[in-house]
Structure 1
């Protein structure tokens, strides 16, 4: 399907493994490592063949004793509440097993995990190669061949492997786990779909809109096979959802909050779930759903197949994978784990004062939405901004709808439907629409307010330029957003976009990553760090 990169460093012995060198390690330790690897024939900087990676990787050989010592040291650190050695404050996340790197038509693909190179896991070039039943493949009839993530995921998932997929939104992830989920149900049920049956598959999603979208896809895909799905989310009556559960379902798709509520009242039983999916796992944890996710997964059958899809791979998701997945899952990265925007989107960043945004927004709509037929998505940051902008535009003669957290769910669903069908092709939205939603033919995204993180910016502009089409993202950047200027500059440069001089004036410094819940991720104190000294004050000091 694509040629493999030639590099002797990837043909090294099975005992070889990657060691990431932290630029902040003490100079003595750093010099020692460099000297050790200087004359080794397999030690070559990875940046030579993967320029997007901003750190250097060196391949070294270690014998079994050194690996055992490292394992014992890691276990000891964990017992003491310490993290393993970090790279720029971020723990290195590795999957055991051989790594396979190849350049496909759509970019770099990295596959790692135990036995990942076996012939039976070769990427699929056509739907026929999957040897799936025709009724299962009905959902793919409008596509010529599997998408990149589907071609890589299906061989592993259909073989029962735990799987981690890192890929951008709009890459076909829903069917990447949806088709194997349907096959899982068919094998378990063996044609017997009894009334009142408990679900066998579970899909967790961070937002109601994404949960509903997944449900629509899986319901349509499962219909020819008799596989029933139900979508459970808040903001709407529990009655119909409870009725569906009682009548019997095979796949449950839901948001963590509502799903936990229905488990607690005893109407949703997950004890037979043997196929679990976390979609947009990073977003789910970032929104504070980790306790609910852990509780829900704890209700499922212990010997289950686990699947995680995420656009990024932060430490919190890695820890969750370690706890709930097989020790040797397969990990497939499509593109890069580094933050990068869709190259099919032309990014235009405009630095201006907050008070100028309303007038500028109207001017851009007259430019991009003059016919009022093409789809334009306007993103705002706060819930209160959405109705204000919606009213502003409606008073100006624009036909607009909005979705945000303060709106009842039925109104959100209606607004999204009007936008998708093109009945009202101008929508104002908060970040509830930034991730995962597959809205066809969005030509322009306008960021009226810059988001809290650059990751959210990348997801926002990813609503356009989908399925190989071109798109435009026009962003307002104000002095209040200057703390994110450095990260935005990096995103623009990576995609070969124009970086305005006004943006560079804010500087290119990149702050340490900060969680919305826990603050900045500072580097952990090492186990051998000097102990703190207790300082005491005598009475005279107290009196002064």
Structure 2
């Protein structure tokens, strides 16, 4: 992959690739579009940053450099990034940017990050110093483009991290504006990569609008959870949650970090205030807090100054905080995918972790999915949970049903199955049940890894010219 990348990999003390890196890197270097599913904490960020930066080092800035110089002659400063990484939250965008700086160390390639809630003037000044790889949240990126500070005409790589959430709910219109209504090269001319721990079927169908003849890569028990995480589900009535939480915190190891998830912003503030009054050093993070407050809260949590972090779903995805030994679902989420992402904040990269969830009849709609997940991960299933799950089944009359909280495609690895293997996508978008390079299974989750491919792929070596004068 080149001297710069290999040298920086050595400096980060990475000794061997994780499974998602092992299979994703040659696909990306082979210039194929990719939809990759892998468990939380499996190294997805490096899986796309390493091959993208490697190709940028090899191929050089090309026409983007000339365009930036031409527009600078008229007194305007506009950047034309070669790679764009979109992330759903400010914290995740900032974290990806920090990782990209590691792999761009001692090179002429400059990563930048833009996200809402921070000083836009400072971000513009950072951009004007040069930007080859841009990490952004969709809203702030659209703002920067409208201000004429960023142009996507020469973007070769588009990455959607936590892509299912990016395309779900309120992000889709902004992404379509960025990808389809502006000047970005069309699919087939750019390389598009999507990464997440869960890819429900409906999101896969939506994603085909952005991908061209893509490979679907499923690593591990996709949509499931790591067996390194011990999952406990306990019956706790609403009025007893606070006292039960205090019991868990009193039993925690010294210097270990505990992440407590609640459903609402008001609930986060109220629980943080309660813990503070009880003498527990804690902080909170949610969408209504300013960016400065959120960064300060994460810093205090990471450093151990406040070893208890109360958070809403804003902290459920992508955040990589070492030494989180315990995740507590004070309030369980409404769908199982959110649960998977939440407890994935512990037990990362081979470490052991503990996840405790408070359950009562308010959460009965989650019972059957939660029971299935515990069975898949070889965890203990409380007998009362089985009773609630089967009670829900008898009331509904069947296991079936749709919706975001349901497992798409059935079977053991929801969100980790390529829907094209059983349903050819309308209007093309990949060959039905295509072959699997290397003989791997095309059904993700049933084995250790799987490919589904619309055709073969070839690695392009390119020239050995160093365009960056390193």
TM-score range, shorter chain: 0.7 to 0.9
SS in 1 for 2:159: strand
The question of 1:348 aligning with 2:232 is answered yes
Q: Is the 8 A contact 1:206 1:280 kept in 2?
A: yes
Give the greater-gyration-radius structure (CA).
1
Show the counterpart of 1:182.
53
Supply the distance in 2 between the matched residues of 1:493 and 1:520 (Cα, whole angstroms).
15
Show the counterpart of 1:220.
102
Aligned-pair CA distance for 1:245 = 2.5
Aligned-pair CA distance for 1:468 = 1.0
Supply the distance in 2 between the matched residues of 1:398 and 1:145 (Cα, whole angstroms).
40
Show the counterpart of 2:37.
166
Show the counterpart of 1:132.
2
Aligned-pair CA distance for 1:467 = 1.4
Show the counterpart of 2:361.
479
SS in 1 for 2:265: coil
Show the counterpart of 2:218.
333
Supply the distance in 2 between the matched residues of 1:252 and 1:511 (Cα, whole angstroms).
42
Q: How does 1:247-326 map to 2 (within 5 A)?
A: 247-298=129-180, 299=182, 300-302=184-186, 303-326=189-212
Q: TM-score, normalised by structure 1?
A: 0.67
Aligned-pair CA distance for 1:137 = 3.9
The question of 1:156 aligning with 2:27 is answered yes
Corresponding residue pairs, total: 386
Alpha carbons of structure 1 residues 220 and 419: separation in structure 2 relative to 1, 3 Å: same
Show the counterpart of 1:424.
306
The question of 1:145 aligning with 2:11 is answered no
Q: How does 1:420-459 map to 2 (within 5 A)?
A: 420-459=302-341
Supply the distance in 1 between the matched residues of 2:408 and 2:199 (Cα, whole angstroms).
15
SS in 1 for 2:366: helix
The question of 1:378 aligning with 2:260 is answered yes
Show the counterpart of 2:404.
515
Alpha carbons of structure 1 residues 246 and 190: separation in structure 2 relative to 1, 3 Å: closer
Q: TM-score, normalised by structure 2?
A: 0.78
Show the counterpart of 2:444.
none
Q: Is the 8 A contact 1:222 1:228 kept in 2?
A: yes
Q: Is the 8 A contact 2:94 2:113 kept in 1?
A: yes
Aligned-pair CA distance for 1:190 = 5.9
Supply the distance in 1 between the matched residues of 2:6 and 2:377 (Cα, whole angstroms).
38
| Larger RCO (alpha carbons 8 Å, 6+ apart) | 2
Q: Is the 8 A contact 1:233 1:259 kept in 2?
A: yes
Alpha carbons of structure 1 residues 172 and 380: separation in structure 2 relative to 1, 3 Å: same
Show the counterpart of 2:424.
none
Q: Is the 8 A contact 1:512 1:520 kept in 2?
A: no
Aligned-pair CA distance for 1:297 = 1.3
Aligned-pair CA distance for 1:520 = 12
Aligned-pair CA distance for 1:323 = 2.0
Supply the distance in 2 between the matched residues of 1:140 and 1:280 (Cα, whole angstroms).
27
Aligned-pair CA distance for 1:394 = 0.8
Q: How does 1:61-72 map to 2 (within 5 A)?
A: none
Supply the distance in 1 between the matched residues of 2:158 and 2:202 (Cα, whole angstroms).
18
Supply the distance in 2 between the matched residues of 1:445 and 1:190 (Cα, whole angstroms).
43
Supply the distance in 2 between the matched residues of 1:273 and 1:469 (Cα, whole angstroms).
37
Q: Deviations over 1:60-83 (max 9, x none)?
A: xxxxxxxxxxxxxxxxxxxxxxxx
In the TM superposition, structure 1's runs of 4+ consecutive aligned residues that sit over 4 Å from their partners are: 190-197, 519-522
Show the counterpart of 1:530.
none
Q: Deviations over 1:292-333 (max 9, x none)?
A: 111111231221111111222223432343222222x22211
Q: Deviations over 1:13-64 (max 9, x none)?
A: xxxxxxxxxxxxxxxxxxxxxxxxxxxxxxxxxxxxxxxxxxxxxxxxxxxx
Supply the distance in 1 between the matched residues of 2:201 and 2:386 (Cα, whole angstroms).
30
Show the counterpart of 1:362.
246
Supply the distance in 1 between the matched residues of 2:289 and 2:361 (Cα, whole angstroms).
30
Alpha carbons of structure 1 residues 306 and 347: separation in structure 2 relative to 1, 3 Å: same
Supply the distance in 1 between the matched residues of 2:342 and 2:29 (Cα, whole angstroms).
32
Q: Deviations over 1:163-214 (max 9, x none)?
A: 2211112111111110122123223326997775411100011111111100
Q: Is the 8 A contact 1:286 1:515 kept in 2?
A: no
The 10-residue stretch of structure 1 (389-398 or 416-425) with the greater mean CA deviation from structure 2: 416-425
The question of 1:233 aligning with 2:115 is answered yes
Q: Deviations over 1:362-396 (max 9, x none)?
A: 11111125x3x211111111111111111111111
Q: Deviations over 1:460-496 (max 9, x none)?
A: 1111111111111111012111111111111111112
Q: Is the 8 A contact 2:84 2:135 kept in 1?
A: yes
Alpha carbons of structure 1 residues 511 and 378: separation in structure 2 relative to 1, 3 Å: farther
Q: Deviations over 1:68-123 (max 9, x none)?
A: xxxxxxxxxxxxxxxxxxxxxxxxxxxxxxxxxxxxxxxxxxxxxxxxxxxxxxxx
